[in-house]
Amino acid sequence: MPTIDFTHDPATRSWVESAQGHPDFPVQNLPLGMFSSHGGKPCPGIAIGDKILDLRAVAPLLPADAAALLDLVTDDTLNALLGAGEGALRTLRHGVFALLTDTAQAEEVRPHLHAAVDCTMHMPVAVGDYTDFYSGIHHALNIGKQFRPDNPLLPNYKHVPIGYHGRSSSIRVSGEDVIRPVGQQKPEQDGGEPRFGPAARLDYEMEMAIWVGKGNALGHPVPIGEASQHIAGMSILNDWSARDLQAWEYQPLGPFLAKNFHSTVSPWIVTGDALAPFRMAQPDRPAGDPKPLPYLWDDEDQQTGAFAITMEVHLHTTRMRDAGDPPVRLSKGPMSAMYWTAAQLLAHHSVNGCNLRPGDLLGTGTLSDAEDATRGSLMEISEGGKHPLALPNGETRSFLKDGDEIIMTAYGDKAGAVRIGFGACRAIVRPAPAIGK
């Protein structure tokens, strides 16, 4: 279990001026990513204030054990570095923390800081497998009510961390446009011909991305008590969804084309050590809910396995942009809306012997809490389109229109800890292509 060490001291300041009070990237954060500047090759970097530190460039200034870890960054991905485990990530964190807080080294390090606005961010890892869970019980209830008003939750929900496999190839980093998918939709009448065309019910889903660090071998489950050691860090995930495609295709094998056309992740991996101060007890299960099976239960995980992270979704329509209006907030809610902890998701995933590899992505599932203002998708906000959302400028939305930008943010938010953030996860919806024969 990561401990809250000196790198979290609120009194510690970096000599990077913009890091003081930065809402996302004070020196207590130090998230990992892959960036490039001036058209160069992707390089490993760490965000600090409004700058990005080029890790390779400062390797000679780092302790030898920290510098050696950068040799793991091959093929323009952080997979192998994440796979080195939490101890390795801590070594690197401590080395960089020392560099960025020691004013004596400022002069040597400063040339290797790039203005973030001038950099391009890349996928931090090559995702081998992407699994999307369904751990937001209020989301499951909100969606379930639309289909089964009297019985919204299926009988397995409180026993099994429900999940399914997503598509790795179409995961993109924040900033890349989302192209509206085309596909079959349910016939107007039962037994009729399916409709075909651009999805009319395009939606976002507010999720957190959990990155696998150290992997496990096929046939060797990760015990729940060790699961958190296999989690390298977290980012924000927008699991774009075409509700009309989903409604027609998903029986009996689950979502497919409704989800695999694009998923967006924020570019920075906030590591387990950075998140340590935001650990909190998993909220008690409501009275009457079953206690999970032993392979999913660990007392320490229950006491520390949830995270005090606040997530927000904002919408910026074309008309808002043209008018110079700011984005409108659609929701704000806590990550603790998860019915299962991250460690439970990982332990469940591997209990059958399934092997997880460094850089694998576990989505939490859409996280909505009990209050209306916390709903993590338009499907929930508009109740399946029945109650379009009225926007301040007079526009309405049941689902997304071309030109809409969705901007998700998230930040650790706990009394006594320095706020750290994930940066933005954003993308603009573009029109569907014409489909040839």
Task: Tell me: does residue 129 bind a copy of itself (CB under 8 A).
Answer: yes
Catalytic residue check, 139: yes
Number of residues that bind a copy of itself (CB under 8 A): 73
Out of 22, 94, 122, 139, which one is annotated catalytic?
Answer: 139
Task: Tell me: does residue 242 bind a copy of itself (CB under 8 A).
Answer: yes
| Among 56, 172, 285, 319, contact with a copy of itself (rule: CB under 8 A) | 172
Which ranges constitute the DSSP H helices of 262-358?
A: 272-275, 299-304, 318-323, 342-350
Residue 394 CB, shortest distance to a copy of itself, in Å, is 31
Amino acid at 187: P
Q: Is 341 helix (H, G, I), strand (E, B) or coil?
A: coil
Dihedral, CA atoms, 103, 107, 108, 114, nearest 10 degrees? 100
Distances (CA, A) of 371 to 38, 47, 286: 45, 33, 16
Region 416-435 residues binding a copy of itself, contact defined as CB under 8 A: 433, 435
| Among 256, 328, 401, 413, contact with a copy of itself (rule: CB under 8 A) | 256
Residue that the structure tokens 């009070």 belong to: 21
Task: Tell me: does residue 120 bind a copy of itself (CB under 8 A).
Answer: no
Task: Tell me: does residue 414 bind a copy of itself (CB under 8 A).
Answer: no
Q: Which stretch binds a copy of itself (CB under 8 A): 21-29, 317-325, 355-363, 408-416?
A: 355-363
Instruction: Measure the CA–CA gap between 427 and 224, rounded to whole angstroms.
Output: 35
Q: Which stretch binds a copy of itself (CB under 8 A): 344-352, 376-384, 389-397, 410-418?
A: 344-352
Instruction: Measure the CA–CA gap between 167 and 263, rounded to whole angstroms.
Output: 8
Residue 239 CB, shortest distance to a copy of itself, in Å, is 12
Task: Tell me: does residue 74 bind a copy of itself (CB under 8 A).
Answer: no
| Among 168, 280, 325, 417, contact with a copy of itself (rule: CB under 8 A) | 168
The DSSP string of 119-178 is EEEE-SS--S-EEEE--BHHHHHHHHHHH-TT--S-TTTTTS--EEE--STTEEETT--E
Instruction: Measure the CA–CA gap between 193 and 185, rounded to whole angstroms.
Output: 9
Residue 133 CB, shortest distance to a copy of itself, in Å, is 9
Give me the sign of the Cα torsion angle 24, 264, 308, 314. positive
Instruction: Measure the CA–CA gap between 196 and 11, rounded to whole angstroms.
Output: 59
Residue 264 CB, shortest distance to a copy of itself, in Å, is 12
Cβ-based nearer residue to a copy of itself, 154 or 373: 154
Task: Tell me: does residue 165 bind a copy of itself (CB under 8 A).
Answer: yes
Residue 164 CB, shortest distance to a copy of itself, in Å, is 4
Q: How far apart are the first and last CA of the chain?
A: 55
Contact present, 335 and 367 (Cβ < 8 Å): yes
Residue that the structure tokens 């970097």 belong to: 45
Cβ-based nearer residue to a copy of itself, 3 or 251: 251
| Among 184, 332, 391, 417, contact with a copy of itself (rule: CB under 8 A) | 184
Neighbours of 427 (CB within 10 A): 24
Q: Which stretch binds a copy of itself (CB under 8 A): 12-20, 28-36, 169-177, 310-318?
A: 169-177
List the catalytic residues: 139
